[in-house]
Copies of this chain bind each other. A is one copy, B any other.
Amino acid sequence: MNTREEAVALDSADPLAALRDEFALPTAAIYLDGNSLGVAPAAAAQRAQTVIAAEWGEGLIRSWNSAGWFALPRRLGNKLAPLIGANENEVVVTDTISVNLFKLLSAALRLQDSRDPKRRLIVSERSNFPTDLYIAQGLIEQLDRGYELRLIDDPSELPAALGDDTAVVMITHVNYRTGYMHDMPALTKLIHEKGALALWDLAHSAGAVPVDLNGANADYAVGCTYKYLNGGPGSPAFVWVAERHQNAFSQPLSGWWGHRAPFEMNPTYRPDDGVGRFLCGTQPMVSMALVECGLDVFLQTDMQAIRKKSLALTDLFIELVESRCKEFPLTLVTPREHAKRGSHASFEHPNGYEVMQALIARGVIGDYREPHVLRFGFTPLYTRYVDVWDAVETLRDVLANETWRAPEFATRGAVT
- Chain A residues packing against B (C-beta within 8 Å): 24, 26-27, 29, 31, 33, 36-37, 39-40, 44-45, 48-49, 51-53, 55-65, 69-70, 95-99, 102, 106, 126, 128-131, 133-135, 137-139, 141-143, 151, 177, 226, 232-237, 250-259, 262-269, 280-288, 290, 360, 365, 367, 369-370, 413-416
From B63, B70, B139, B287, give the contact of A287 (CB < 8 A): B287
A-B contact sample (8 more), CB < 8 A, given A24-B53, A98-B282: A26-B57, A26-B59, A61-B416, A65-B414, A126-B267, A129-B265, A135-B254, A263-B416
Q: How many copies does the complex hold?
A: 2
From B65, B143, B234, B281, give the contact of A99 (CB < 8 A): B281
Q: Which residues of B contact A257 (CB under 8 A)?
A: 98
Expressed in whole angstroms, the minimum distance between the Cβ of A97 and any Cβ of chain B is 6
Q: Which A-B residue pairs are the 5 nearest by beta carbons?
A: A96-B281, A98-B255, A284-B287, A98-B281, A138-B254
Q: Which residues of B contact A286 (CB under 8 A)?
A: 48, 232-233, 235, 284, 286-287, 290
Selected A-B contacts with CB under 8 Å, 11 pairs? A37-B56, A45-B52, A61-B367, A70-B414, A95-B281, A96-B282, A130-B256, A130-B262, A141-B252, A282-B416, A286-B287
Q: Which residues of B contact A95 (CB under 8 A)?
A: 95-96, 99, 281
Known A36-B61, A52-B45; contact A370-B264, beta-carbon cutoff 8 A? yes
Using CB atoms, name the residue of chain B closest to A251: B138
CB-based contact A232/B414 at 8 Å:
no
CB-based contact B253/A99 at 8 Å:
yes
Q: Which residues of B contact A264 (CB under 8 A)?
A: 370
Q: Which residues of B contact A129 (CB under 8 A)?
A: 256, 265
Q: Which residues of B contact A262 (CB under 8 A)?
A: 130, 414, 416
CB-based contact B45/A131 at 8 Å:
no
Q: Which residues of B contact A252 (CB under 8 A)?
A: 102, 138-139, 141-142
From B62, B130, B233, give the contact of A69 (CB < 8 A): B233
Using CB atoms, name the residue of chain B closest to A36: B61
Assembled-state Cα–Cα distance A24/B286 (Å): 16
CB-based contact B370/A263 at 8 Å:
yes
Assembled-state Cα–Cα distance A345/B129 (Å): 49
CB-based contact B137/A284 at 8 Å:
no
CB-based contact A232/B56 at 8 Å:
yes
Assembled-state Cα–Cα distance A27/B58 (Å): 7
From B263, B281, B360, give the contact of A414 (CB < 8 A): B263
CB-based contact B52/A280 at 8 Å:
no
Assembled-state Cα–Cα distance A197/B238 (Å): 35
CB-based contact A253/B284 at 8 Å:
no
Q: Which residues of B contact A55 (CB under 8 A)?
A: 233
Assembled-state Cα–Cα distance A64/B36 (Å): 11
Known A139-B252, A365-B62, A414-B70; contact A131-B281, beta-carbon cutoff 8 A? yes
Expressed in whole angstroms, the minimum distance between the Cβ of A50 and any Cβ of chain B is 10
CB-based contact B269/A133 at 8 Å:
yes
Expressed in whole angstroms, the minimum distance between the Cβ of A278 and any Cβ of chain B is 13
Q: Which residues of B contact A137 (CB under 8 A)?
A: 254, 268-269
Expressed in whole angstroms, the minimum distance between the Cβ of A333 and any Cβ of chain B is 14
Using CB atoms, name the residue of chain B closest to A231: B284
From B37, B49, B233, B254, give the contact of A45 (CB < 8 A): B49
Q: Which residues of B contact A138 (CB under 8 A)?
A: 251-254, 269
